[in-house]
Amino acid sequence: MQVKLETFTRDDAQAIRATGFSFVRLGIWTNALHDAAYRERIHAAFDAALSASLPVVATLRTTQPLATGTYGAAREEALALAGRALADAVFDVEREFATQLVAIELWNEPDLGKYWPTGDVLPTFAPYMRAACAALRAQPRRVPLYGFGFASAPLSGTLPDALLTSVLDGNPGCVDAVSYHAYGMTPAAIREAARDIEQRHRLPAVITEWGVPSAGLLRDSSNQAHRMSDFAAARNDLHTPLVSIYEWKDTRSGDNARERSYGLVDASGRPKPALDAWRDALRVR
């Protein structure tokens, strides 16, 4: 279950556990790790998860451009330096929270410009992430790595697959699973994506975001609950060993009603019908 670092509480954690979910996913901005107040929020979120015996998938990315005002060899070196900084952040988070972590996910939706502020992703993603992977291989790791939180499945011929291949080719062992987001995908499409990724990359596929809004075009709370119920019924036949639902609580800061309404509870914590759909599916009352 996806939670927001800024709003996740112990009460949320207890409710998520009581619903029947087995872990939470939260995002960490690596460029803010030096800030004491931000680190306190990270510790508070991990403490909240621990209070309900919920392990964590932590997704790491920076919100700042990785190489600005540089070209050619200078840009390559700036990207490599940034990649090594990502590896340092992984080790930092792992040292503090290894016993609570299911996995660390490298990045979130790099195939969308909103989450890749460095410019053209095709020539910049590979040198950055290959440098991160090289640094990560240089030291023992205790926690699995997922990569790279693509906005859609990295199927052959797609931008996510081009990015994935550019990192993995000649760079085996970089990640332990391929992670992507499966909004709008049917169970059959998810099964096929898992088979395709395993066949071509020899890695399992995991879904770190899937969800349905309760507002927006042709959406309402009953539609959200129905879609959630159907997905939950198919969850054991997805050939996908880990799925994270987006998200626990509605987000007040979303750009539009649709983006603000993915929660199983509203922004104040009141349950929506989708919560009962999951309670029924997970046989928890």
Query: How confident is the prediction for the chain on average, in pLDDT?
Result: 95
Residue 171: what residue type? N
The residue extents of the domains of the chain are: 10-281
Please give the model's pTM, rounded to 2 decimal places: 0.95
Average pLDDT of span 205-231 = 90
pLDDT score for 197: 97
pLDDT score for 126: 96
Where are the strands (E) in the chain, listed by range?
24-29, 56-61, 101-106, 145-150, 177-181, 205-210, 243-245
In the predicted structure, residue 234 carries a pLDDT above the cut 50 = yes
Axis-axis angle for helices 10-19, 273-281 (nearest 10): 50
Axis-axis angle for helices 72-97, 121-137 (nearest 10): 50
Average pLDDT of span 87-113 = 98
- 10-281 maps to CATH 3.30.1450.10: no
pLDDT score for 171: 84
Q: Tens digit of pLDDT for each residue in 30-49?
A: 999 999 999 999 999 999 99
Average pLDDT of span 124-138 = 96
pLDDT score for 283: 80
Phi/psi at 102 (5° precision): -75, -45
- Decide if 146 contacts 57 (C-beta within 8 A): yes
Q: Other CB atoms closer than 10 Å to residue 39's CB: what's the count?
A: 15
